[in-house]
Amino acid sequence: MVREEVGDKCFCILIDEARDISKREQMTNILRFVNNNGILTERFFAIKSVSDTTSLNLKKEISNVLVHYDLQVKKIKGQGYDGASNMYGEWNVFQTLFLRDCPYVYYVHCFAHRLQLTLVSAAKDVSVIWEFFYHLDNIVNIVTSSTKRIAELHIVQRNEIEHMLAIGERDSGSGANQIGNLQQAGATR
């Protein structure tokens, strides 16, 4: 489907990597292109588990994904990712590795990531917000340091979901109402 939409047109790649709940590194690949109607289109086209997040391995993995979809690397005209040290810079990083194959590819820093960092920076000057996240970090540390407390949290979540389903405040369905885990707050979370 994606291959037919892109055709022989140029495209941009948007890449992000993150660790999933099972602590495996995942690389998300999004394709950005102008469709046949002249509309800028973004399509999620792959997610890959990667054990090695070095820039060289990430380039190899994205190149493999492009080959799988029969998309030519030389058709890349733009690349976008966050500012992680293995992604952006001039010394043997992901961006530079693609520039060797496509010397006219431009780079755009991920705007969502940039906005998040701006909000974090602005929040540091608001003591109420800063104290909230300080206390939230302490609560997460206390709960996640004990398997008993995690189990208790899951029981409370399950009971709350069952109650909300019973009174009609939540809908049921495939993938809905899953019990989550706590994660530490961070500059990009």
pLDDT in tens, the chain (189 residues): 778 888 888 888 887 777 766 777 777 888 888 888 888 888 887 887 877 777 777 788 888 888 888 888 888 888 877 655 445 444 446 667 777 777 777 666 655 555 566 667 777 778 888 788 788 888 888 888 888 988 888 898 889 888 888 888 877 776 566 666 666 565 544
Q: What is the pLDDT of residue 86?
A: 46
Which residue type does 187 have?
A: A
- How many helices (H) and strands (E) the chain has is answered by 6, 5
Spatial separation of the C-alpha atoms in residues 52 and 67, rounded to whole Å = 20
pTM above threshold 0.75: no
Q: What is the pLDDT of residue 85?
A: 46
Question: What architecture does CATH give domain 2-109?
Answer: 2-Layer Sandwich (3.30)
Burial category of 107 from C-beta neighbours within 10 Å (exposed 0-12, middle 13-18, buried 19 and up)? middle
- Residue spans in the chain of domains classed CATH 3.30.420.40: 2-109
Are 73 and 13 within 8 A, CB to CB? no
Q: What is the pLDDT of residue 164?
A: 86
